[in-house]
Amino acid sequence: MIDSTEDQAAGLRRLFRKAPPAVVALYVAGRQPAAVAIRTAYRIAGRAERVLVLDEAQGERALSQALDLPPGPDLLSVLGAKVHPLDLIQQVPGLVGRVPAGAAALALPLLDDERRDRLVGALGLLHRHAGYVLIHSCCEAAADPSPFIFAAPRRLVVAEVGRTGATESYRVIKRLAEAGAGSIHVAAAGARSRSDAQAFFDALENLVRRHVGIPLAWLGELERDDIARGLDSEVGASRSRDAEAAFLRRLVALGRSGRMTGPTGRSRLGAPGCR
């Protein structure tokens, strides 16, 4: 576990020498969403990137049970006395860990300036220890995305190949588009072959093009392709990650306005969660 009493100077040196983490909103469509979400985190971590999971999903949709973890205190608890953000990280071998964040995402638009700044500051501290931050949500919440989802520069839908995965992935893509998403990355999981995975995506893309009208970026198969490289491709050779650097600033702005504003400029009130 990361020691919350880490030397301050060492922490500042790390902050100044590394780029902000890539921030990705993650949805999994299919029969085993928790298991596939965890596999996605490990596939990204396989590139020696340190992956932190902010778990917005609650109840049976949360990743705690699949990871054999207790539900754990929520990120929102940093607003209480003597709660250090790093103490909220639940250890997961091979990852930075998991932090429950459903209550924090729900509360952000309702907080006053001081508490909002404290919450966003806690997120900033957590980000220093990660190369990737996956904001895990559930498909049922896609119609009403949280401020964390709106602030994330990328949205990834991992779809299990099959009828359930196809139906749910289309539904979540449509809901995100209605909420203002401009484009969405898609990866397939559990395909018998590359041709099956490609056929699955082609059918999904055709359906989305005809009925939703937003572009899908194909990342390939979760088991065979470098998903992280595909997500990084938009950043460019400089890997400046300007979009990721803006993540916390966007959260502050969304909290002040009390609303979520999507990439197309559409706004809506809303709250996350899988209840």
Q: How many domains does the chain have?
A: 1
Distance (Å, rounded) from C-alpha 128 to C-alpha 274? 28
Apex 32 CA angle, 126 and 87, nearest 5: 20
What's the pLDDT score for residue 271? 36
Is residue 121 domain-resident? yes
Distance (Å, rounded) from C-alpha 241 to C-alpha 231? 11
Amino acid at position 198, single letter: Q
**Contact indicator for 194, 161 with CB cutoff of 8 Å:** no
Top-confidence residue, 51 or 274: 51
* Number of neighbours of residue 251 by Cβ within 10 angstroms: 22
Beta pairing, strands 260-261 & 154-160: unpaired
Is residue 272 domain-resident? no
Is residue 175 domain-resident? no
Is residue 204 domain-resident? no
Distance (Å, rounded) from C-alpha 135 to C-alpha 247? 12
Q: Domain span at residue 63?
A: 19-156+223-256
Is residue 211 domain-resident? no
pLDDT tens for each residue of 196-219: 999 999 999 999 999 999 999 999
**Contact indicator for 1, 89 with CB cutoff of 8 Å:** yes
pLDDT tens for each residue of 248-273: 766 776 666 655 444 444 444 333 34
Is residue 239 domain-resident? yes
The pTM (predicted TM-score) of the whole model is 0.82
Distance (Å, rounded) from C-alpha 30 to C-alpha 2? 34
Is residue 26 domain-resident? yes
Is residue 1 domain-resident? no
Beta-bridge partners for 200: none
The first and second tokens of residue 153, run together, are 């520069």
**Contact indicator for 155, 128 with CB cutoff of 8 Å:** no
